[in-house]
C-alpha cells in the first residue's frame, strides 16, 4: 500500500467513526488478521489485568506482560488448547493460521502462525459474545503461559 492509499483509507475510517451508531460487524466475514487484531487487544488486556496485583512497578508489569503475549507464548497456548476446540472454533483457528502476514524475527514462522491463530480465535469469541467460552480459554491460556514463563 502506498502513502496515498493509506491516507485515503485512514480518512474513510475516521469518517465512518464520526457517524452515529456503530456499524454492524459480522465476525464470520472478517479477515482473520482483523480477528487477530481484536484478539491481541483482548488477550493483552486480560494478561495486564491478571498481572496488575503482582507489582506496583510498571516496568516489571510491562516486561512480564510483553513476554506473556508474545507469539512464542501464544503458540504454546494454542498447541495446548487445540484439541479442546469445537469444529467452528477449529475453522477460525485454521483461517487465522493460514492468514498472510509478515513474520517478525522474534518468532519462527510456525510460532507466529500459531500465535495469529490464537489471537484470531480470541477475537472471534469476543466479537461473537461467547463470554463463558472466551473466559475459559483465556484462563487456560494464561495458566499455560504462566507455567512456561516460570520455567525460564
User: How far, in Å, CA of 55 to CA of 52, rounded?
Assistant: 6
Predicted local distance difference test score (pLDDT) of residue 1: 65
Domain 31-151: CATH superfamily is: Ribonuclease III domain (1.10.1520.10)
> Is the Cβ–Cβ distance between 35 and 119 less than 8 Å?
yes
Catalytic (active-site) positions: 40
Predicted local distance difference test score (pLDDT) of residue 150: 86
User: How far, in Å, CA of 97 to CA of 118, rounded?
Assistant: 8
7 pLDDT tier (thresholds 50, 70, 90): confident
Helices (H), the chain: 3-18, 32-51, 58-68, 71-81, 87-98, 109-127, 131-151
Instruction: Read off the pLDDT of residues 69-124 as tens digits, 9 standing for 90 and up.
Output: 999 999 999 999 999 999 999 999 999 999 887 767 778 889 999 999 999 999 99
Q: Domain extents for the chain?
A: 31-151
* CA 143 to chain centroid: 16
Mean pLDDT of the chain: 90
- The C-alpha R_g of the chain, in whole angstroms, comes to 17
Predicted local distance difference test score (pLDDT) of residue 80: 97
* CA 55 to chain centroid: 24
Amino acid at each position: 500500500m502506498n502513502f496515498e492509499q493509506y491516507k485515503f483509507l485512514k480518512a474513510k475510517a475516521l469518517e465512518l467513526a464520526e457517524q452515529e451508531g456503530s456499524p454492524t460487524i459480522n465476525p464470520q466475514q472478517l479477515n482473520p488478521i482483523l480477528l487477530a487484531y481484536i484478539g491481541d487487544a483482548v488477550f493483552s488486556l486480560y494478561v495486564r489485568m491478571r498481572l496488575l496485583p503482582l507489582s506496583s512497578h510498571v516496568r516489571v508489569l510491562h516486561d512480564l506482560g510483553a513476554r506473556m503475549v508474545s507469539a512464542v507464548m501464544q503458540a504454546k497456548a494454542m498447541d495446548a488448547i487445540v484439541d479442546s476446540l469445537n469444529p467452528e472454533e477449529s475453522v477460525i483457528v485454521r483461517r487465522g493460521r493460514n492468514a498472510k502476514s509478515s513474520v517478525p524475527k522474534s518468532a519462527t514462522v510456525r510460532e507466529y502462525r500459531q500465535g495469529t491463530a490464537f489471537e484470531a480465535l480470541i477475537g472471534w469469541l469476543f466479537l461473537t459474545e461467547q463470554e463463558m467460552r472466551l473466559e475459559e480459554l483465556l484462563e487456560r491460556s494464561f495458566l499455560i503461559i504462566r507455567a512456561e514463563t516460570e520455567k525460564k
